Amino acid sequence: MKVEMVMPQMGESIAEGTILKWLKKEGDLVEKDENILEISTDKVDSEIPSPAAGKIAALLAAEGETVPVGVVIAEIETDVTAPARAKAAAAGSTKAAAAAPTKVPAPEAPAAAAPRRDDAGRFYSPLVRSMAQAEGISPAELAQIPGTGLGGRLTKDDLTIYVERGKGGPAAVPRPEVPPAHAVRMGTAPAAAPTTSPGRGTPVVGIALQPTETRTTPDGLIEIVPMDHIRQKIAEHMVRSKATSAHVASVTEVDMTRIVRYREASREGFEQREGFKLTYTPFFVEAVLRALKEFPIVNASIEGTNILVKRFINIGVAVATDYGLIVPVVRGADALNFLGLARAVNDLATRARTKALKPEEVTDGTFSITNMGTVGTLFGVPIIAQPQVAILGIGAIQKRPVVRDEAIAIRDMVYTCLSYDHRIIDGAMGGAFLERVAHELETMELV
Q: State the catalytic residues.
A: 422, 426
Q: How far apart are CA 420 and CA 422, in angstroms?
A: 6
**Contacts from 14-17 at CB under 8 Å and sequence distance 24+?**
14/41, 14/42, 14/43, 14/69, 14/359, 15/68, 15/69, 16/41, 16/66, 16/67, 16/68, 16/69, 17/41, 17/66, 17/67, 17/69
Closest CA to 28 of 79, 62, 83, 77: 77
Provide the sign of the torsion angle of the four alpha carbons 84, 88, 89, 93, taken in this order: positive
Q: What is the DSSP string of 135-169?
A: TT--HHHHHTS---SGGGPPPHHHHHHHHHTTTTS
Taking the C-alpha atoms of residue 287 and residue 252, their distance in angstroms, rounded to an integer, is: 14
The secondary structure of 72-122 as a DSSP string is: EEEEEE-TTHHHHHHHHHHHHHHHHHHH--S--PPPPPPPPPPPSB-TT--
Sign for the pseudo-dihedral over CA of 349, 336, 436, 423: positive
Strand partners, 16: 68
Phi and psi, residue 3, nearest 5°:
-110, 130
Give, in degrees to the nearest 5, the angle at Cα 193 between 192 and 194: 105
